[in-house]
Structure 1
Amino acid sequence: MPRPVDPTRRGFLSRTALLAGAVLIPPVTSACSRTQPGTGAPKGDATLLDRLREQGFVRVGFAGEAPFGFQDGGTLAGEAPTLHREIFTALGVPELRPALTDFGALIPGLLADRFDVVSAGMAITPERCAKVLFSDPEFVSPTALMVRKGNPLGLADLASCAERGVTVGVLTAAVEASYAKASGVAPSAVKALAKQQDGLDALVAGRIDAFALTGISLRWLAKVNEGADVEVLEPFVPELDGKPQYSPGGAVFRPGAGALRDAFNRELSGITGDPARYVRLIGRYGFTEREVPPSSLRTADLCRA
C-alpha cells in the first residue's frame, strides 16, 4: 500500500469553531535577532536552540491553509502547529509566536529571518531543499481530485483529466501544477488559484472541471463547505519522470540551523514512531495512521533531484 504524499500548502481561513489544543496568536512584534541574517547561524556563543529556550518562544511562519496550519478565531491551529507545539515544548520552548504569510513568501520570509521555522505542512522537494533545510517527514498524503457531485466527467486522476481535455484547478506555487503537466494536462488547461476556497468556488461555478490537491486538504474543504455540490475522489499517487511522487510534508528551517533541525527530528521521531500518539495529537484534523510517514522515507532521499 503506497504511503503518499503531501503537497505544498496554501490557504484558506477555516470557518470551523475554535479547535481544542490550538495556540493563542499574540500580536506579531519585531525583535532584534541574534543570528546572522538569512542563515540562522548564531551570533556569539549562544546556539539557536539556546536562544529560543532563553527567550521562551519560537517564531513560526504559516500560510493559513487548513488543516495544515491556519488561524481560527485568533488561534493557530492545524497539523503542523500542533506537532510543532508538542515538539518545541519538549525542547524547552513553550510558545509558538506565529506570522501569517502568503504561501509563496514562506521560504523568502524564513531566509530573511522573519521567523525561525515554517509551520505549514510544506512538501519536501529537491528545488526547496536547495534553499532550506527540511525536517524528517511529518506526514504523507495522496493527491486527489475534487469534482462536481456524481463525477459527471468520469474522472479518476490527472491522467484522466488529460485524456478528457478538462480544466484543472491548482493552487499557485503548489506541486500539483507540475503533477498536472507531467500527466499530460495542457498548460492552457491548468488554472492557478490563490486559495483552497477559490478552488471549490471555481468548481461549483463551472470555471474548472476538477480541483487537484491532497486528499486531506480536499476532505477538509468539503467538510467546511457542507452541502456544496462537490465530492472528493479516491486519492492517487502522481508520477514525475516515471517516479511516484509522495511529496511528504515537513517543517522548514534556515540553512545553518541544522542543530535545531536535528533536535526537532529527535522529538518528531518519538511521535511518528507511535501511531496512537500521532493520531491523538492531530486526528482532529483528519490525520489517521494512514498518514504516518514510514520510517524508511527519509528527507535526504526526497531532496535528491
Structure 2
Amino acid sequence: MKKTLIAVAGMLAMTSAVSAESWDTIRVGVDAPYPPFEYRAPDGELTGFEIELGNEVCQIVSGNDCEWVVQAWDGIIPGLLARKYDMIFSSMSINEERQKRVLFSDPYYTTPSAFFAPDGNGFNPDSSDGKRVGVQRATIQDTYVTEFLTDAEVVRYTTADDMIVDLQGGRLDAMFIDAPVGIEMLEGNDEVSQVGDFIKEPTRIFGEGVGAAFRKRDTALEEQVSAALEQLKNDGTYDTIMQKYFDIDIKL
C-alpha cells in the first residue's frame, strides 16, 4: 500500500510538472501610442505605465522583460487568438462581451472615461444631435457612444493620436476616451477641456477593471500573471510605477 501511495504521488508530481508551463519569453500585444499607458520615448523605445508594469510581471514569470508586439486595437483580440502573442497587456477592460472570447487575469487598475471638447463649442453629451463624436474603434467608449448618443455622428479611429489631431483641427465636436489618456494627450492645450463628469457605468460596458487577456486554454499563464500582479502590489512596486505616471490612484 505504501509503495502504491508513493507511486501515485510520484505520478501526480510528474503530471503537475508537465502541466505547469514555463516561459523564457512572453510575447505581449499592446496598442501604442496610448499615453500614459504605452507610448514611444524619443529614442523609439516603448515606455509607459503598462510597459513598465508588464516588464515587471514578465520578469517574475519568465525572468526576462516582455517581448512587446504593437497591434492596432481593432485587431488586438484576433491577434491573440491567431497566436501572434501570448497575452494582451493594453488597458483592456474586463466585460461580459470580451469574456466570451478571452480569459482575463485579476484586474490591475480601473480608470474612468470622459468627454473632451473644444472650449465654447457648446457640446453636451446629453444633447448631441448632429455632433461629430470621436472614439477609438472597438473600444468600450465606442460601445457606449453608439448605444447612448444615438443622435450623434460617431467617428471611429484606429489610433487615439489620429482622433486628437482631428479634435484639435476642428473636425470633431468632441471625443470620448479613457480620462487619463485624454488629460495626458491634451496637456498644455488651453483650448480643449473635459466636458461633464467621469463615466464608469454601466458595468456591462465598462466592466470591473482592466486585466491582462489570454487565450481561454492558457490558464497556467493567467494564474502566473495574476500572482505576479499581486506580488507587485504587495511589495510596493506597483505604487512606485503608478505614481510615476498618474496624479490619481488607479489601483483597484
**TM-score (structure 2 length as normaliser):** 0.81
Aligned to 1:183: 148
Match of 1:66 in 2: 35
For residue 156 of structure 2, give the secondary structure of its aligned residue in structure 1. Answer: strand
User: Where in structure 1 are there 5+ consecutive unaligned residues?
Assistant: 1-44, 294-305
* Structure 2 match to 1:128: 98
Does the CA contact (< 8 Å) of 2:137 and 2:158 recur in 1?
yes
Instruction: Say if 1:179 and 1:239, in contact at 8 Å, map to a contact too.
Output: no
- Are residues 1:217 and 2:217 paired? no
Q: Distance in 1 between matches of 2:222 and 2:46?
A: 21
Structure-2 change in CA distance of 1:192 and 1:78 (3 Å): same
Counting only pairs closer than 5 Å after superposition, residues 74-113 of structure 1 correspond to structure 2 as 74-113=44-83
Greater shift in the superposed pair: 249-258 or 262-271: 262-271
Q: 1:82 to 1:47 in 2, by over 3 A?
A: farther
Give 3-state SS (helix, strand or coil) of 1:140's partner.
coil
- In the TM superposition, residue 284 of structure 1 has moved relative to its aligned partner by 2.3
Query: CA RMSD of the aligned region, Å?
Result: 2.5
Aligned to 1:249: 210
- SS of 2:213's equivalent in the other structure is strand
Contact 1:203 1:211 in 2 (8 A): yes
Q: Who is 1:299 aligned against?
A: none
Question: Residue 99 of structure 1: SS of its match in structure 2?
Answer: strand
Q: How does 1:276-295 map to 2 (within 5 A)?
A: 277-286=237-246, 288-289=248-249, 291-293=250-252
Amino acid at match of 1:258: T
* 1:180 to 1:273, Cα distance in 2 relative to 1, 3 A: farther
Q: 1: CA distance between counterparts of 2:242 and 2:136?
A: 24
Report SS of the residue matched to 2:63: coil
**2:196 is the counterpart of 1:270:** no
Distance 1:251 1:117 in 2: 7
Q: Identity over the aligned pairs, expressed in percent?
A: 24
Equivalent-residue separation in structure 2 for 1:287 and 1:256 (angstroms): 37
Q: What's the CA shift for 1:168?
A: 1.1
1:234 deviates by 5.3
CA change 1:161–1:208 in 2 (3 A) is farther
User: What do residues 105-138 of structure 1 show as CA deviations (whole Å, max 9, x unaligned)?
Assistant: 2211111211111121112122211111111111
1:153-172 correspondence to structure 2 within 5 Å: 153=122, 155=124, 158=125, 160-162=126-128, 165-172=130-137
Q: TM-score, normalised by structure 1?
A: 0.68
* Larger-Rg structure: 2
Tell me if the contact between 1:60 and 1:117 (Cα under 8 Å) persists in the aligned partners.
Answer: yes
Q: List structure 1 segments (4+ residues) > 4 angstroms apart after TM superposition.
A: 45-48
Contact 2:73 2:158 in 1 (8 A): no
Query: Structure 2, unaligned stretches of length 5 or more?
Result: 1-16
Shift of 1:288: 3.2
Tell me, yes or no, if the aligned pair for 2:27 and 2:85 is still in contact at 8 Å: yes
Given that residues 95 and 205 in structure 2 are in contact (C-alpha distance below 8 angstroms), is that contact kept between their aligned partners in structure 1? no
Q: Is the 8 A contact 1:166 1:189 kept in 2?
A: yes
> Is contact 1:171–1:194 with CA below 8 Å preserved after alignment?
yes
1:270 Cα shift? Answer: 3.2
Post-superposition shift, 1:165? 4.5
Question: Judging changes above 3 Å, is the alpha-carbon distance between structure 1 residues 219 and 49 closer, same or farther for their aligned structure 2 residues?
Answer: farther
Structure 1's 263 and 229: CA in aligned 2 closer, same or farther, altered over 3 A? same
**Deviation, structure 1 residue 230:** 1.4
Query: How many angstroms apart in 1 are the aligned matches of 2:71 and 2:20?
Result: 23
The structure-2 alpha-carbon separation of the partners of 1:208 and 1:154, relative to structure 1 and needing over 3 Å to count, comes to closer
Distance (whole Å) between structure 1 residues aligned to residue 127 and residue 64 of structure 2: 46
